[in-house]
Amino acid sequence: MARTLDFWLDYASTYSYLAAERIGALARAAGVTVRWRPFLLGPIFQAQGWNTSPFNLYPGKGRYMWRDMERQCERLGLPLKRPEPFPQNSILAARVALVGFAEGWGEDFSRAVYRAEFGEGRSISDTSVMADILGALKRDAARLLEQAQRAENKARLRGETEEAQRLGIFGAPSFVTADGELFWGNDRLEAALAWAQG
Amino acid sequence: MARTLDFWLDYASTYSYLAAERIGALARAAGVTVRWRPFLLGPIFQAQGWNTSPFNLYPGKGRYMWRDMERQCERLGLPLKRPEPFPQNSILAARVALVGFAEGWGEDFSRAVYRAEFGEGRSISDTSVMADILGALKRDAARLLEQAQRAENKARLRGETEEAQRLGIFGAPSFVTADGELFWGNDRLEAALAWAQG
């Protein structure tokens, strides 16, 4: 079996932040090649009748999630600051990310987005925040923001989200092995890597 | 801090089965005393507008849960057979369990219920199944089933469920430390025990 793993992430997802921070070192140690697959959870949630995050629809679950994130971030030494509103609209970040992964700087960009959003509480739907993040990565923000919003790039993101849906993905982060095994949640990252090792 | 942990379980909950199988050895190793607290998730789900398990309301999530249970049971060496219907009505088992914990045989009873339900796919709402389980534990089924259905025992279970709700519990299994820290899910059992150790 190929030692590869697809990492499906949504930039609005708190636990995707934890997975994005953890997956690099763990995958290297496991000898597994990871393909980062940005997508949008929004259309998948809408298809099951949700118009916002389940953490907002079910306040008890939401309160718990933020407390759990506090504990996990403390354990991992990661900053945590809740952005307003939550969830953030992640479509711009996902579009820029697709360009970034095509050009080879997608992972650094992804981690920078999560740090801005959940480490500093910034609004990732804001074009100026996106420009800041790209500038800090020494990227040409004006060109990239234009490229991200082109019709063919928008269509690619729609295609990725449809692919996630076909794979049975219903939350983020999710991990899918070469033989189609689905693992959901940051808590299943180690199990997904072990499966990918065969 | 007291080295104690409350283990909130619902007999209809698949992941409570895994936690019930795992918690004994882990708690002994951690030097933590566990108090088993049977309750009913149904009224908590109903309060947020759900009339059945979220694993039925959201079929993608449900398919994933059963696959995840297969993987986890295989890893833990536990049998798995899906009961029909799922979820089972767990009210009779919870009422008997309260009697069992008062008399000191609650843990053995709980594990036997989960083995019957999720290891053999039996209907735990069926009085004859409950009588079989009690008989195998050398308990007087007729007396216990009568005692379980007494008004004061029913009221006690309602009280436990209300207490779970007050604690912010929204799923099972859940773990609550002496200082009120809530952990949700079999995946958080180790973290809950570590917290209880102080």
Taking only the tens place, the pLDDT of each residue in B4-39 is 999 999 999 999 999 999 999 999 999 999 999 999
Taking the C-alpha atoms of residue A127 and residue B108, their distance in angstroms, rounded to an integer, is 59
pLDDT of residue A2: 66
| Cβ-defined contact of B61 to A170 (cutoff 8 Å) | yes
**Each residue's pLDDT tens digit, B86-128:** 999 999 999 999 999 999 999 999 999 999 999 999 999 999 9
Indicate whether B48 pLDDT > 90.
Answer: no
Indicate whether A148 pLDDT > 70.
Answer: yes
- Omega of the bond leading into B59 within 30 degrees of 0 (cis): no
Q: How confident is the model at residue B173 (pLDDT cuts 50, 70, 90)?
A: very high
Taking the C-alpha atoms of residue B130 and residue B126, their distance in angstroms, rounded to an integer, is 6
Residue range A10-36: average pLDDT? Answer: 98
Between these two residues, B52 and B192, which has the higher pLDDT value? B192
By C-alpha distance, which of A129, A36, A145, A165 is closest to A95?
A145
Residue range A12-17: average pLDDT? Answer: 98
| Cβ-defined contact of A64 to B187 (cutoff 8 Å) | no
Q: How confident is the model at residue B2 (pLDDT cuts 50, 70, 90)?
A: low
Taking the C-alpha atoms of residue B18 and residue B71, their distance in angstroms, rounded to an integer, is 12
Residue range A58-62: average pLDDT? Answer: 92
Residue B67: its chain A contacts at CB < 8 A? 182
Nearest neighbour of B64 by CB, restricted to A67, A182, A187: A182
pLDDT of residue B50: 87
Between these two residues, A158 and B51, which has the higher pLDDT value? A158
Indicate whether A41 pLDDT > 80.
Answer: yes
| Cβ-defined contact of B60 to A48 (cutoff 8 Å) | yes
Residue range B132-154: average pLDDT? Answer: 98
Indicate whether B1 pLDDT > 60.
Answer: no
SS3 B9: strand
Nearest chain A alpha carbon to B185: A187
Indicate whether B169 pLDDT > 70.
Answer: yes
Yes or no: say if B193 and B33 are a contact pair by the CB < 8 Å rule: no
* Average predicted confidence (pLDDT) for chain A: 96
Q: Which CATH number fits domain B4-197: 3.40.30.10, 3.90.1150.10, 3.40.190.10, 2.160.10.10?
A: 3.40.30.10
Q: How confident is the model at residue A140 (pLDDT cuts 50, 70, 90)?
A: very high
By C-alpha distance, which of A170, A167, A184, A176 is closest to A47?
A170
**Residues above pLDDT 70, as percent of chain B:** 99
| Cβ-defined contact of B168 to A63 (cutoff 8 Å) | yes
Instruction: Report the gap between the CA of A182 and the closest CA in chain B (Å).
Output: 8
Predicted TM-score (pTM) of the model is 0.96
Indicate whether B183 pLDDT > 60.
Answer: yes
Indicate whether A184 pLDDT > 70.
Answer: yes
**Residues above pLDDT 70, as percent of chain A:** 99
Nearest neighbour of B168 by CB, restricted to A48, A64, A187: A64
pLDDT of residue A50: 86
Interface probe, candidates A55, A184, A186, A195, chain B, greatest B C-beta count within 10 A:
A184
Indicate whether A55 pLDDT > 80.
Answer: yes
SS3 B53: coil
pLDDT of residue A168: 95
Taking the C-alpha atoms of residue B32 and residue B17, their distance in angstroms, rounded to an integer, is 20
Indicate whether A101 pLDDT > 80.
Answer: yes
Q: How confident is the model at residue A72 (pLDDT cuts 50, 70, 90)?
A: very high
Taking the C-alpha atoms of residue A106 and residue A37, their distance in angstroms, rounded to an integer, is 10
Interface probe, candidates A58, A65, A174, chain B, greatest B C-beta count within 10 A:
A58
| Cβ-defined contact of A71 to B168 (cutoff 8 Å) | no
Residue B147: which residues within 8 A CB-CB, separation 6 or more?
A: B99, B153
| Cβ-defined contact of A60 to B67 (cutoff 8 Å) | no
Q: Give the gyration radius of chain A's Cα atoms.
A: 16
Residue A48: its chain B contacts at CB < 8 A? 58, 60
Every domain of chain B and the residues it spans = 4-197
Yes or no: say if B97 and B11 are a contact pair by the CB < 8 Å rule: yes
**Residues above pLDDT 90, as percent of chain A:** 92
Nearest neighbour of A60 by CB, restricted to B60, B170, B183: B170
Nearest chain B alpha carbon to A57: B48
**Each residue's pLDDT tens digit, B49-70:** 888 888 988 899 999 999 999 9
